[in-house]
A and B are shown apart, each in its own frame.
Chain A
Amino acid sequence: MKVYIYDDTFKGYLTAIFKWFENKDFEDDVCRASLYGGNLINRPIDVFTDEACAARVVKGVLEKLGYEWLDMIHAVFLSELPEADMLGARAMRLGFKYGKSILNDERHEVIQPFLKVARAVKRETHSFLGFVRFSKLDSGIYYASCHPTYNILVLLAPHFADRMGDQSWVIHDTGRGIAAFYNQSDWHINTLNLSEPLLYAEDEMALRNNWRGYFEAVTISERVNLKLQQQKIPKKYWKYFTEDIGVLNQNTIE
């Protein structure tokens, strides 16, 4: 059995998929380099990312399956789960064979987990559109740190480039050591590891206090329900918030 190993990029993934289809042995595996363990029965094959091959897969998916599919395949890829690479490949193969509406067959053993992962990635992305918190630095740049479960910076960046179009910003995925950088016209993703503490703008702390004050004042004490709050904002995200999640402030309960 062969394993097509690629360089962890989406284009690399599509190239590997191209080889997988071309070779027609569907017992073979596709696997990103960072997740490849290797064993005795596998025969690893290094795939070199090839723009043309990747483009042909994209074209095929768009023509035969449509944009929604491409979007989902990308989302599943970004999950970085061990099963992600094969889920995408198998789902695509089913799509080409039975048509795009196979996605409606929610019970299918491949489609079901494929949709589940794609939806989880999209759900997290949607949450982060709201949860990202910028701080203004002394340099005037707005900086946010976060650590999403999935590798979603590339899905977040276009939203913020559109919305915060007139300010330079950085969204730092501290867990992965990468960041999206935006300079008021384009964004790109690169590695980032901070060695020195950040220097905040003069009014930053006052604004954070304004926000915390707002957050406390808008709570209706007769309705307090911390469990629900935790359900809405999973604990693993808490430390990236400006406001205090999971606690009741004295002013709120008075």
Chain B
Amino acid sequence: MELDKKIQILTQGAKYDVSCSSSGVERRGKKGQLGSAAESGICHSFTPDGRCISLLKILMSNNCDYNCAYCINRQSNDVPRATFTPEELVNLTMDFYRRNYIEGLFLSSAVCNNPDHTMERMVAVVRLLRKREGFNGYIHLKGIPGASEELLAQAGQYADRMSMNLELPTKKSLKLLAPQKSTQQITAPMHYLRDKIEESKALRQQFTKAPNFVPAGQTTQMMIGATNDSDYNIMTVSEGMYNAYQMKRVYYSAYIPVVQNNSLLPTTVHAPLLREHRLYQTDWLLRFYGFKTSEILDEAHPNLDLEMDPKCYWALNHLKFFPVEVNRAHISLLLRVPGIGPTSAQRIVKGRRYGKLDYDALKKMGVVLKRAKYFILCDGKFYGGKNTTQAKIRHQLVIEDPVMKKLNPDQLHMSSLFPEVFSSESLYLR
């Protein structure tokens, strides 16, 4: 088979994995060798869907022996199959890298024969890249559920980041849709990787030359909307992932109906992109704003309000905390105000040392006043209008929501909506 054809097949099989970040590790180049890694990640291009291309995200093979109901590569699906030789992948990565098309490689694979066989071939590729080619660029390696610890240990020496995908938030859903995988097979490697990562970190504090192990940490991904799991289920699992496994990121991927006529799966035509977007915003609140899932969702309110971002949703339900005086409030409180983000909160705290901040000053600092004005006082003054009620504020917040604004009924399914999540790395670049 022609190389071009293989690239096409094995890229299309990999593209639904949404993580493409190349961040989390800073590594200078080595003399006479190729490659380095940038802490904040670098985007090399943006696809017509607006997502950042940073890594060559590709499958080793799509020749799968499993039959996960939601997956285009499942055994029973009639799609063209292809498999790269390690040599082909090594050359492709090097040639793309030399032209500055990519930051590195994100290698994944369908399960060929069995997990260990698959993992072994993947490890062979990264070993060649690192050992023979002296490649110092970024490598993200997917772990295959059920792969042995020995192979994970080898993989971890070469990879900057590894990921085991949860796929679905509950055991029940996994059993239903991916009967050949078990939660155990997914979490055991996570566990193992976490321990090895910590061990290597500790060692490196004593001996700077101690070998690295997955220095950019591990990530995972869940699919949204293929089952009836609630947002509360999903976010609770995410929170657990961050706490128990020190995940760097949890990714959410709206289930795109690649499979038709399966009674197990929803018959939607459109991917639940709006919901995916709201989950990312919630995830953001957990990681950068000091929120806990239980503050936003619970058994009685298991799903997010799709019409506004989760921070507005929370604030609206906790009006008793507001309004807060921007000239005095502690930064943790500022971060709870809709329309104030980590950067603008920092700017407020620093800026108010030079004198009282008024409404105008907040604007210059990047506060989104359309949202914030209902929740703040500037030097004692309230700008949210007279006789504000919860219902009125809600109405305004929905109208002003950047996503809802762009939304008209015909567009509900269109992906023109939620872009920010894909470029989330760059939000922190100034």
Contacts and interface: CB of A to CB of B under 8 A. Distances in A.
Nearest to B137: A163
A210 B99 CA distance: 12
B3 A142 contact: no
A220 B16 contact: yes
Interface string A133-172: 1111000001010000000000000011011111100000
Given A136-B98, A219-B15, A232-B423, A224 B28 contact: no
Contacts of B419: 225, 228
A41 B263 CA distance: 84
A123 interface: yes
Interface string B260-302: 0000000000110100000000000000000000000000000
Interface string B319-352: 0000000000000000000000000000100110
Contacts of B365: 106
Nearest to B360: A107
B195 interface: no
B38 A129 contact: yes
Given A210-B4, A242-B99, 15 more contacts: A106-B364, A122-B430, A133-B101, A142-B98, A159-B36, A214-B58, A217-B7, A220-B51, A220-B415, A222-B271, A225-B416, A226-B50, A227-B50, A229-B50, A245-B46
A107 B48 contact: no
B30 interface: yes
B53 interface: yes
A130 B45 contact: yes
Contacts of A251: 8
A242 B256 contact: no
A62 interface: no
Contacts of A213: 4, 7-8, 11
Given A104-B351, A165-B29, A229-B47, A134 B36 contact: no
A184 B32 CA distance: 7
Given A106-B347, A242-B99, A217 B15 contact: yes
Interface of B: 3-4, 7-8, 11-12, 14-16, 28-36, 38, 42-54, 56-58, 92, 95-96, 98-101, 103, 134, 256, 270-271, 273, 347, 350-351, 353-354, 361, 364-365, 415-416, 419, 423, 429-430
Interface string A95-110: 0000001001111000
Contacts of B353: 104
A35 interface: no
Given A104-B351, A107-B364, A112-B364, A166 B15 contact: no
Contacts of B95: 203, 207, 210
Contacts of B47: 215, 218-220, 229
A242 B101 contact: yes
Contact of B48 (A101, A131, A219, A242): A219
A235 to B, nearest CB: 13
Contacts of A33: none
B100 A134 contact: yes
Interface in A233-250: 233, 241-243, 245, 247-248
B35 A163 contact: yes
Given A106-B364, A165-B31, A129 B42 contact: yes
B343 to A, nearest CB: 11
A131 to B, nearest CB: 7
Interface residues of A, number: 63
Contacts of B423: 232
Contact of B50 (A106, A184, A223, A242): A223
19 contacts: A104-B347, A104-B350, A105-B351, A106-B347, A123-B429, A130-B100, A130-B103, A133-B99, A142-B99, A160-B100, A162-B36, A163-B29, A166-B34, A210-B92, A210-B96, A211-B101, A220-B256, A222-B256, A223-B50
B354 A104 contact: yes
A165 B48 contact: no
Contact of B30 (A131, A165, A209, A217): A165
Given A213-B7, A217-B7, A218-B15, A226 B30 contact: no
Q: Is the interface of A mostly helix, strand, loop or mixed?
A: helix
B28 A162 contact: yes
B48 A252 contact: yes
Contacts of A101: 350
A56 interface: no
B52 A223 contact: no
B374 to A, nearest CB: 24
B101 A166 contact: no
A173 B289 CA distance: 42
B55 to A, nearest CB: 10
Nearest to B44: A130
Contact of B416 (A159, A218, A227): A227
Nearest to B42: A130
B49 A162 contact: no
B273 A223 contact: yes
Nearest to A160: B100
Given A225-B415, A225-B416, A225-B419, A217 B34 contact: no
A126 B426 CA distance: 10
Contact of A107 (B14, B58, B361): B361
Contact of A166 (B32, B38, B44, B415): B32
A107 B357 CA distance: 10
A89 interface: no
A232 B15 contact: no
Between A224, A241, A242, the greatest number of chain B beta carbons within 10 A of the residue's beta carbon is seen for: A224
